[in-house]
Structure formats: structure tokens, C-alpha cells
């Protein structure tokens, strides 16, 4: 996947309290999975802070995402769904892209 931490193939992982930085793709990624991503520090990844692909359903709560020179904080490919709540974004060209719902 080219990511720091990944959830794949129908898993329902809880990804919590990690630091992910300077990965080739995303700090945290999901491929055809349903992760809950909580309270992580994600910084300086090349493509996106968090990348969601392949008909995934993801919930992201309380993450700190810091970009370094562009990219997207949370990228969701077509067919994936992401719900965001209480996440902090700095330094990205775009905070989100794709099928993302923001819940306060």
C-alpha cells in the first residue's frame, strides 16, 4: 500500500494513538476496509495524510494532520465514504478530497 499503517480486505481495525510521518504515500491508509482512526499524529506524507480507497467506510476522529508543501489531508477515492469529526489540518493544499462528510 505504500503507507505507514494500513487496514485492508474487510478489516475493521481501530488505529489509535500513533505517529505516522514521511511515508511514500499516506500516513494511514485503508483499502476495502472499515477502520476507525482515532487521535493519531500524521505529518509530512507524500500523497495524503490519510488515504481511503476501494469501497471503504472510515470514521476519523481527533487526528492531527500536518502537510508539508501541498497534498491532501484526507483523500477518499470514489466508492469510499469517510466521516470526519474534530480533526485538525495544517499545511495541506486541500483538507479533504472525494467522498467526505464532516460531522461536528
Q: Within 10 A of 99 (CB to CB), how many other CB atoms are there?
A: 13
Q: How crowded is the C-beta side of 17, counted as CA atoms within 13 Å?
A: 0
In-domain check, residue 17: yes
| Range scoring the smallest mean pLDDT among 5-19, 50-64, 85-99 | 85-99
pLDDT of residue 97: 80
Domain that holds residue 65: 5-90
pTM: 0.91
- Residue 103 within any structural domain of the chain: no
Q: Where are the extended beta strands (E) located within 22-71?
A: 26-31, 36-38, 41-43, 48-53, 57-61, 64-66
Torsion of CA 35, 39, 45, 48, to 10 degrees: 50
pLDDT of residue 68: 82
Please say if the pLDDT value at position 1 is more than 70. Answer: no
- Report yes or no on 104 lying in a domain: no
Instruction: Please check whether residue 46 lies inside any domain of the structure.
Output: yes
Say if 67 falls within a structural domain.
yes
Residues 6 or more apart in contact with residue 19 via CB below 8 angstroms: 40, 41, 42, 43
pLDDT in tens, 93-102: 888 887 777 6
Provide the domain count of the chain: 1
Within a domain: 84: yes
Q: How confident is the model at residue 8 (pLDDT cuts 50, 70, 90)?
A: very high
- 101 is a domain residue: no
Amino acid at each position: 500500500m505504500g503507507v505507514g499503517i494500513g487496514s485492508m480486505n474487510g478489516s475493521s481495525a481501530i488505529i489509535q494513538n500513533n505517529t505516522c510521518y514521511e511515508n511514500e504515500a499516506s500516513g494511514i491508509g485503508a483499502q476495502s476496509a472499515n477502520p476507525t482512526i482515532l487521535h493519531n499524529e500524521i505529518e509530512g506524507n507524500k500523497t495524503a495524510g490519510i488515504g481511503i480507497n476501494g469501497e471503504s467506510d472510515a470514521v476519523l476522529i481527533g487526528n492531527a494532520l500536518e502537510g508539508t508543501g501541498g497534498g491532501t489531508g484526507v483523500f477518499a477515492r470514489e466508492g469510499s465514504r469517510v466521516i470526519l469529526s474534530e480533526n485538525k489540518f495544517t499545511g495541506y493544499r486541500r483538507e479533504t478530497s472525494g467522498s467526505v462528510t464532516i460531522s461536528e
